[in-house]
Amino acid sequence: MEMKPIDAHTIADSISAGLPADRIKGLAAVRETNGAYIKVTDDEILAAIPLLARGSGVFAEPAGAAAYAGLVKAVEQGLVHPDERIVVLSTGNGLKDITSARKSVGAPMVVDKDLADVKRALKK
C-alpha cells in the first residue's frame, strides 16, 4: 500500500511526521499483532499529561503523553479491556516542553521561601 504525505501539525512535534520513515514496518507490526491505530487530538494529549503524572508519577512531554492518550481512547472505544495489562512507553520528559505542561495544568504556584507560605499555598 502506497502512503501519501500529509500536512502534519500537532503539539507533539517530536513525533509529527507527514510521511513516517518507518511506516512500512509500523503498518506490518499492527497487522501482524491484530493491533489498531488510534488518532488523538492535541486536547487529548494535553489532558493525558496530568493524568499520567497523577497515576504514575511520570511527567511526560506531549509526544510521550500521546501514547497514554491513545490508550485512554482505546479503552473508551472498547479496543482495550480495562482489565488488560498494558505497557505504555513514554520516552520524552515534560521539562522538554514547559509551555505545553502549563497549558495542561495551568501556571505554577509561586511561594516564598518560608514554611508558612508553603503551608498557605497547600491549603488552596
Per-residue pLDDT of the chain (124 residues; tens, 9 = 90+): 577 888 888 888 888 888 888 888 988 999 999 988 899 999 999 999 999 999 999 999 999 999 999 999 999 999 999 889 989 888 888 888 888 888 898 888 889 999 999 999 888 8
Say what the pTM is.
Answer: 0.79
Pick the CATH number of 13-123 from 3.30.1360.120, 1.10.10.10, 3.40.50.1100, 2.40.30.10: 3.40.50.1100
Query: In this predicted structure, what is the pLDDT of residue 1?
Result: 58
| Number of neighbours of residue 38 by Cβ within 10 angstroms | 18
Q: How many Å apart are CA 13 and CA 62, to the nearest integer? A: 8
| Single-letter residue type at 9 | H
